[in-house]
């Protein structure tokens, strides 16, 4: 199945929404440049792009999109489901997420699963912070800070 991409503008750059008729396969961070596809976008890609635009405009707090099945470990899938339970405008530490999975010593593994998340923002890995500060983010510290401030989190 052919991948289709729509770029979505934000104050921190262009995000890419990529997917097929089956669902969203990837949300590309602003530094992951790519061109929008030509032609008619699959419904799932159009829906995700519209919802991402609404999020960046402050008019959306949660997402209702079809995510494609992605190859990953059971632990990664567990972490990604845990991320989706973190409410808008709230943060959790890596230790909090690990504890919620009944794996209290797996903070580093949670960080690795966060980094492997194919759907940033939609699966809100930006809401996971270090105990001592902001923590890492694949899109960079400025992008993570922007996302958290957009949600009203004091950073």
Q: Enter the tokens of residue 98.
A: 């690990």
Q: Kindly report the length of the chain.
A: 155
Residue 81 near residue 114, CB atoms below 8 Å: no
Residue 134, exposed/middle/buried by CB under 10 A (0-12, 13-18, 19+)?
middle
Token pair for 76:
């990664």
| Contact present, 77 and 42 (Cβ < 8 Å) | no
Encoded tokens for 84: 């989706």
| Residues with active-site annotation | 125
CA atoms of 20 and 108, how far apart (whole Å) = 32
């Amino acid at each position: 199945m052919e991948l289709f991409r729509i770029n979505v503008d934000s104050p921190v750059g262009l995000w890419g929404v990529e997917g097929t008729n089956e669902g969203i396969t990837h949300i590309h961070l602003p530094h992951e440049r790519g061109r929008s596809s030509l032609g008619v976008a699959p419904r799932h890609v159009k829906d995700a792009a519209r919802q991402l635009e609404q999020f960046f405009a402050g008019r959306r707090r949660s997402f209702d999109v079809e995510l494609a099945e992605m190859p990953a470990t059971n632990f990664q899938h567990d972490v990604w489901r845990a991320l989706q339970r973190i409410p808008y405008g709230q943060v959790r530490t890596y230790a909090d997420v690990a504890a919620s999975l009944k794996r209290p010593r797996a903070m580093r593994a949670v960080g690795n699963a966060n980094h492997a998340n194919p759907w940033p923002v939609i699966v809100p890995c930006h809401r996971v912070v270090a105990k001592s500060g902001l923590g890492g983010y694949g899109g960079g510290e400025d992008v993570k800070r922007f996302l958290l401030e957009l949600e009203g989190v004091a950073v």
